[in-house]
Chains A and B, each alone.
Chain A
Amino acid sequence: MLLHDTALIYGRYLRQSLRSRFALLFGVLMPLLYLLFFGPLLTDLPLGGQGSSWQVLVPGLLLQLGLFGALFAGFMIILEKGSGIVDRMRVTPVSRLGLLLGRVLRDATVFVFQAVLLVLAALVMGLRAPLVGILIGFAFVGLLTISLASLSYAVAMKVRTPQEFGPLINAVSMPSMLLSGLMLPMTLGPAWLDVLSHFMPFRYLVDAMRDAYVGEYATAHMAYGVLVALGFSALAVTVGTRVFRTAGA
């Protein structure tokens, strides 16, 4: 039944995404601008580690795409709450986990699709990386969006208006981006910043992805990255499902 319900909700929201193709492509715009106008600044800089500057930057941009995109996923559900759609679904026997999973899997699909477009653009710009590494990168983007979209829906179910939701999400997204070293590796910075960034879960994902992009799959970074990504997803989905089960709003 969970599978049936998840597939049903996934289908409904994927069709919704497909109806607004413009929005689907527009999401790639911000990371694409970074790729075009920020990427070339890095090509001759010593960034540490192996590989070209593109192998450092592109994993970060892909996670940034997931971070900003998925954190704002909750906006839609605020509108749906207002028009009674959420209640109409919650009053049926549909699985609460299915209500959440269908939505977040749709989000994961959209952001992995956008990540593919971004990697294609990066290949044109000069990225060279092993295919396996790139595929592992997509898996990380998928897990990150599942986690963050779940949390975003959970928060959105609790707030009343988009006006409350926006600033809250901005307060989370900016420090997350800066402190996880998505743009530049944190090892370049002073020790205190490097230490601080280890408290940011996305740091482990970006380190693992950068290893994958240079073909290093059996590293400590990779182990931590996988652990954090899976643990964070499990936690976020649990929290999200709880909210769908009990939401009073």
Chain B
Amino acid sequence: MTVISTAGLARTFQTKRDPVEAVRGIDLTVREGEILGFLGPNGAGKTTTLRMLTTLLAPTGGTATVAGHDLATDPAGVRRACGYVAQSGGVDPQIGVREELVTQGRLYRLAKTQARDRAEELARDLGLTELLDRRCGELSGGQRRRLDIAMALTHRPKVLFLDEPTTGLDPGSRADLWDLIRRLRAEHGTTVFLTTHYLDEADALADRLVIVDRGVVVAEGTPTALKLQYGGSIDATLQDTFLTITGRSAPEADAAPVAV
């Protein structure tokens, strides 16, 4: 069953000089329970696409549905169905872990006691129980990421969007996070839509890859299929495959505003 589908999804930013076409027309579908790796060079439009699919940014063209809710006509439905972790996370370093989790529950309209229970439950589930009374700023990188994800799971979303979730983590924390993402899918059937620059991560974690470049989808398929088609053999590295697809030796300097 399809849980996300987009058709010609586009976003143009008006700048003082020229309009910047950050996303020029994305067509993709994501099946329920799938872990989708969304790859592309810097400035390819990954974050902008994610921000559109999570209602943070209005598209300037095209349509999309997330968990049966139309992005344009039912943003409230989309918000109830999806969780989002930005690259930068989203907790205040000065605030306690418990308070942030409870506040998040209340933002999703849980009653006070429900929000407290949910915070405890999430903490248990994501190994944060010992940290509940610390301030968010006192957590390690890996712990912070688990907290960010716990926040996004507050309302048990069908779809979880993760923007470069393992950037800056040490190898151990990355492996833990991969396990966590696999477990989410196994236990709750959560669909995970994640962007990454680590090709080993995409290879190990994603069922299917969608590769974007300059605001459009340039290739998609399982890692194996892509290696066969673009890398020339099943033994090709995903790195070589990726470079063949995007046609450059190193990521270009940011052409479009990455964070908007």
- Same complex: yes
Contact A248 B260 (CB under 8 A): yes
The answer to whether A93 and B109 touch (CB under 8 A), given A12-B103, A87-B84, is: yes
Contact B89 A84 (CB under 8 A): yes
Interchain nearest-CB distance for B168 vs A (Å): 14
Total cross-chain contacts (CB, 8 A): 70
Contact B86 A87 (CB under 8 A): yes
With a cutoff of 8 Å between Cβ atoms, the chain A residues found around residue B106 in the complex are: 4, 8
With a cutoff of 8 Å between Cβ atoms, the chain A residues found around residue B103 in the complex are: 8, 12
Interface status of A128 (Cβ within 8 A of chain B): no
Main SS at interface, chain B: loop
Contact B151 A88 (CB under 8 A): yes
Main SS at interface, chain A: helix
With a cutoff of 8 Å between Cβ atoms, the chain A residues found around residue B28 in the complex are: none
Interchain nearest-CB distance for A79 vs B (Å): 9
Number of interface residues of A (CB under 8 A): 23
**Most B C-beta atoms less than 10 A away, residue of A1, A4, A87, A90:** A87
A1–B110 alpha-carbon span in the complex (Å): 11
Contact A87 B90 (CB under 8 A): yes
With a cutoff of 8 Å between Cβ atoms, the chain B residues found around residue A124 in the complex are: none
Interface status of A19 (Cβ within 8 A of chain B): yes
Within 8 A of B (CB), among A59-104: 80, 82-85, 87-94
Contact A80 B92 (CB under 8 A): yes
Interface status of B13 (Cβ within 8 A of chain A): yes
B-to-A contact residues, CB < 8 Å: 13, 51, 54-58, 76, 79-80, 82-84, 86-95, 103-104, 106-109, 151, 155, 260
Beyond contacts A16-B94, A88-B104, A246-B58: 4 other A-B pairs, Cβ-Cβ < 8 A, are A12-B95, A85-B92, A88-B86, A91-B55
Q: What are 9 sample pairs from A and B whose C-beta atoms fall under 8 A apart? A: A8-B103, A83-B89, A83-B92, A83-B93, A85-B92, A87-B56, A87-B90, A89-B90, A248-B13
